[in-house]
Amino acid sequence: MARMGNTPVPIADEVTVDVTSDNTVTVNGPKGELDLQVDDDLTVEADDEQVVLHRASEAQRERERHGLYRSLLTNVMVGVTEGYTKELEIRGIGYRASVDSDGVLELALGFSHPIFFVPPEGIEFSTRTERGNNPVVVVDGIDKQLVGQVAAKIRSLRPPEPYKGKGVRYVGEHVERKAGKTAAR
């Protein structure tokens, strides 16, 4: 059985980690600052080179949380140093995406009206439109959960349909196609 929770989380040179008495870990890096509230059953030890999580007992709940919070802490470390990106491809005739000067994403997805998507705090949008290729919306941020949630929300505005493949999909996502109707004989 894997013991991922016992593996220390390394701290990069440009990152500072602060652990408070209420088990809140504050990580500050070049891209920003994130907080992680660790479960009360775990203890957090941080020095200059690594952060280690310890559990008090071998209870099922504590073992489950041990690996979970170690992974969440790793995500926070990567977020403040490198950040996270999700790319969405828009397929369909007349489907477009653009970002205005305020950072608001404007989508034309075949409805009678354009859709304006205001980014939450910590999220930035950009678009790539190349001749001959489908438009791509890029979602950037330091919080992995928030980047994934915003990308999923944009995808849910017009999910890819199985007959023509039109809609919003993740770059590289495979959509299973259906045959459709056949002509009468």
Where do the domains of the chain lie?
4-81, 84-170
Chosen CATH of 4-81 out of 3.40.50.620, 3.90.930.12, 3.40.640.10, 1.10.10.10:
3.90.930.12
Per-residue pLDDT tens for 56-105?
888 888 888 999 999 999 999 999 999 999 999 999 999 999 999 999 99
Q: What is the DSSP string of 37-91?
A: E--TTEEEEE-SSEEEEEESS--HHHHHHHHHHHHHHHHHHHHHHT-EEEEEEEE
Would the CATH topology of 4-81 be identical to that of 84-170?
yes
pTM of the model: 0.88
Count, residues in the chain: 185
Per-residue pLDDT tens for 117-164?
999 999 999 999 988 899 999 999 999 999 999 999 999 999 999 999
The dihedral built from the CA positions of residue 55, 60, 64 and 69, taken in this order, carries a sign that is negative
User: How is domain 84-170 classified at the architecture level of CATH?
Assistant: Alpha-Beta Complex (3.90)
